[in-house]
Amino acid sequence: MQGASHLSAIATQRRSMKSQEQPSLKSLREKANLTQPELSRRMNVGIRIIGDWERGESIPRFDRAVALARELGVSLKVLAKSMGIDVGDLLNDAPEEISQSDDDEANP
């Protein structure tokens, strides 16, 4: 049961950290001109899951977060901020690191 209480504490922390300046997940979805049913179909998840994410009752798995960011046309950092997750101390990807990483994968 420790896992469930830990997730509850994280959800509470996220809600308390959320500020007026950060866009909400709902506002990002609306800016992308998507309804909850449209987004749920495009992501192949239930509409209730989209609602849970928007209310801050749960957060998507990482693979779904990546897909959600793509659908909304935002970065993972923007998506995380919209869910009240503090990413201020995360490093930004430097262009040279990204291109080096891509080259390594292309030429093993």
pLDDT at residue 15, as a whole number: 55
CA distances (Å), 99 to each of 16, 20, 69, 107, in order?
Answer: 37, 35, 21, 12
Higher-scoring residue by pLDDT: 21, 98: 21
Phi, psi of 56 (to 5 degrees): 80, 15
The answer to whether the pTM exceeds 0.85 is no
Helix (H) or strand (E) holding 4: helix 2-17
pLDDT at residue 93, as a whole number: 75
Q: Which residue from 108, 84, 107, 82 is spatially nearest to 30, judged by alpha carbons?
A: 82
Instruction: Spell out the domains of the chain, with CATH numbers in brackets.
Output: 2-87 (1.10.260.40)
pLDDT at residue 92, as a whole number: 82
| Residues with Cβ within 8 Å of residue 90, at least 6 apart in sequence | 77
Tokens at 85, concatenated: 């997750």
Answer yes or no: are the C-beta atoms of 83 and 69 closer than 8 Å: no
44-77 pLDDT, tens per residue? 999 999 999 999 999 999 999 999 999 999 999 9
